A and B are shown apart, each in its own frame.
Chain A
């Protein structure tokens, strides 16, 4: 249970990193990545995954 970032769509703006309540997002190489061990999909913290809500480029989806 975790969200993930599609590197092709990520513009590396970092909006997701500062919104993540679980501190699961960090900058790696040229884009941001989500640590699946830390990601809770914001359950209990917000109505919807905050990274997905704030992402301007639709780069975030549930990890397969």
Chain B
């Protein structure tokens, strides 16, 4: 989808770089180091879109599907069915050998200057295919020394590989942990293959959960950042996830990411076929809010495919299939270096703007909180047309601040320049609970249709930084006239 592609030029050409107010701001030109993160940790995450919400506005990841095999079965996973339009973990269009993966990474690095992270996330388990995973990382490290490595695993094989993970400078590991109680685990994992045997029931879950916890402890002992993913499954583990949160926090997990179960009979998963539902956005947010204040909670996950490429809100995987890659590719580090320099300057600028915005919402006396949806294609700005948006980032604005709390996926409403009413219904449904939508442009017809549904859509703050735009909207609505002049 070309409308989803952000070129370096378009990001760099964003207006208002030379905004005023710099001299009066204390944080202008800072390294954008958030107050609650240690400098050493910030160095590790500042370019990683999955580990830093701040970084996800600027940096892109790519997954290479070199790990097709898995050593456990999950009731929410079926890797048999693939559709290139689907975005969910465990799904890929083509699997790669390590040599093919290298070719692909170099081609993407040449075309996507935002690329900062190479991840191996399946479609099976990165560690159940350790030979392929290791060969891929070793080859890419030689070609592109400064790319970050990241893996995702169910944790069963993790204790066997921690030393090699540390040796290879894989400094981000995601473990999917859905339970710490084997009885609950047994409802999610029908079997595991361990020590030459298929094991089932609570016995299987006991082994898996014990090895997940041991792997987590071994990684954090080596200062490797660990993100824990948990799939929220209503009626099975939703009430149990606070206990999971406590357990992983106590063992040093850096981030906890609660993801909604994706359950569709067409995917052929056990949960899909048995009618197990996923949580509503409101249920997910309620649980996330309950856990906030513990291990940092990730709110910007897009549950991407095992061959996803690009900023988190987009997937350019189909632009880089093997048949589209040139036979030989040469890596030129210059565009990625230029982009990093641009982001370093942009971040200082955005920090100052964010501080201003936080002051403006903080000036509102009443504790009114509203959800604002933003159409963006990167760079932390309101810069996507309403009709082109395939997702909206959702922020909660209140006197305490402006916080990303999630995203809502929609079908692009405008396919060829003319919007069609027929597709607005699902968009309105997807935006349930949203007060205001900010975008770069919106037509009268969708604007009025959404207004009828109680949602204000405006392009009045086009190309502003997201926080600046939200701060203005919030202060205008809820502040005294003098609070935001």
Residues of A within 8 A of B (CB): 11-15, 18-19, 46-48, 50, 53-54, 56-57
The docked-state distance in angstroms from the alpha carbon of A6 to that of B129 is 23
Contacting pair B198 A15 (CB below 8 A): no
Q: Does B69 lie at the interface of the complex (its beta carbon under 8 Å from any beta carbon of A)?
A: yes
Contacting pair A11 B79 (CB below 8 A): yes
Q: Which residues of B contact A56 (CB under 8 A)?
A: 70, 73, 79
Contacting pair A15 B80 (CB below 8 A): no
The docked-state distance in angstroms from the alpha carbon of A54 to that of B193 is 6
- A21 to B: closest C-beta gap in Å: 9
| A47 with B197, Cβ < 8 A, contacts A14-B68, A15-B70, A15-B124 known | yes
Contacting pair A53 B80 (CB below 8 A): no
| A57 with B196, Cβ < 8 A, contacts A13-B70, A15-B70, A15-B128 known | no
- B97 to A: closest C-beta gap in Å: 11
Contacting pair B196 A46 (CB below 8 A): yes
The docked-state distance in angstroms from the alpha carbon of A53 to that of B68 is 17
- B99 to A: closest C-beta gap in Å: 15
Interface residues of B toward A: which range?
A: 10 to 19
- B33 to A: closest C-beta gap in Å: 43
17 further contact pairs, Cβ within 8 A, besides A14-B69, A15-B193, A53-B198: A11-B79, A12-B68, A12-B95, A13-B69, A13-B70, A13-B123, A13-B124, A14-B68, A14-B129, A15-B68, A15-B128, A19-B196, A46-B196, A47-B196, A50-B196, A54-B71, A54-B193
The docked-state distance in angstroms from the alpha carbon of A53 to that of B191 is 10
Q: Which residues of A contact B129 (CB under 8 A)?
A: 14
Q: How many A-B residue pairs have CB under 8 A?
A: 44
Contacting pair A54 B80 (CB below 8 A): no
- CB-CB nearest 8 A-B residue pairs: A15-B69, A53-B198, A13-B68, A54-B193, A13-B69, A11-B80, A46-B196, A14-B69
- A25 to B: closest C-beta gap in Å: 12
Interface residues of A: mostly helix, strand, loop or mixed?
loop
Can you list 22 contacts pairing A with B, beta carbon distance less than 8 Å?
A11-B68, A11-B79, A13-B68, A13-B69, A14-B69, A14-B129, A15-B70, A15-B71, A18-B69, A18-B131, A19-B193, A46-B196, A46-B197, A47-B196, A48-B198, A50-B196, A53-B193, A53-B196, A54-B71, A54-B193, A56-B70, A56-B79
B70-99 interface (Cβ within 8 A of A):
70-71, 73, 79-80, 95
Q: Which residues of A contact B95 (CB under 8 A)?
A: 12
| A13 with B193, Cβ < 8 A, contacts A54-B71, A56-B70, A56-B73 known | no
Q: Which residues of B contact A53 (CB under 8 A)?
A: 193, 196-198
Q: Which residues of A contact B73 (CB under 8 A)?
A: 56
The docked-state distance in angstroms from the alpha carbon of A56 to that of B128 is 13
Interface residues of B: mostly helix, strand, loop or mixed?
loop
- B171 to A: closest C-beta gap in Å: 27
| A13 with B79, Cβ < 8 A, contacts A50-B196, A54-B193 known | yes
The docked-state distance in angstroms from the alpha carbon of A28 to that of B123 is 20
B23-81 interface (Cβ within 8 A of A):
68-71, 73, 79-80
Among B80, B129, B196, the most chain A Cβ lie within 10 Å of the Cβ of: B196
- Closest A residue to B95 by CB, please name it: A12
Q: Which residues of B contact A14 (CB under 8 A)?
A: 68-69, 129
Q: Which residues of A contact B79 (CB under 8 A)?
A: 11, 13, 56
The docked-state distance in angstroms from the alpha carbon of A50 to that of B131 is 19
- Closest B residue to A56 by CB, please name it: B73
Q: Which residues of A contact B128 (CB under 8 A)?
A: 15
- A30 to B: closest C-beta gap in Å: 11
Q: Which residues of B contact A11 (CB under 8 A)?
A: 68, 79-80
- B361 to A: closest C-beta gap in Å: 49
B399-429 interface (Cβ within 8 A of A):
none
B139-167 interface (Cβ within 8 A of A):
none
- A16 to B: closest C-beta gap in Å: 8
Q: Which residues of B contact A19 (CB under 8 A)?
A: 193, 196
Q: Which residues of A contact B68 (CB under 8 A)?
A: 11-15
The docked-state distance in angstroms from the alpha carbon of A26 to that of B129 is 16
- A48 to B: closest C-beta gap in Å: 7
Q: Which residues of B contact A18 (CB under 8 A)?
A: 69, 131
The docked-state distance in angstroms from the alpha carbon of A53 to that of B197 is 7
Q: Which residues of B contact A50 (CB under 8 A)?
A: 196
The docked-state distance in angstroms from the alpha carbon of A54 to that of B157 is 14
Q: Which residues of B contact A47 (CB under 8 A)?
A: 196-197
- B75 to A: closest C-beta gap in Å: 12
B104-152 interface (Cβ within 8 A of A):
123-124, 128-129, 131
Q: Which residues of A contact B123 (CB under 8 A)?
A: 13
- B414 to A: closest C-beta gap in Å: 37
Q: Which residues of A contact B71 (CB under 8 A)?
A: 15, 54
Among A19, A48, A50, A54, the most chain B Cβ lie within 10 Å of the Cβ of: A54
- A47 to B: closest C-beta gap in Å: 7
- Closest A residue to B72 by CB, please name it: A56
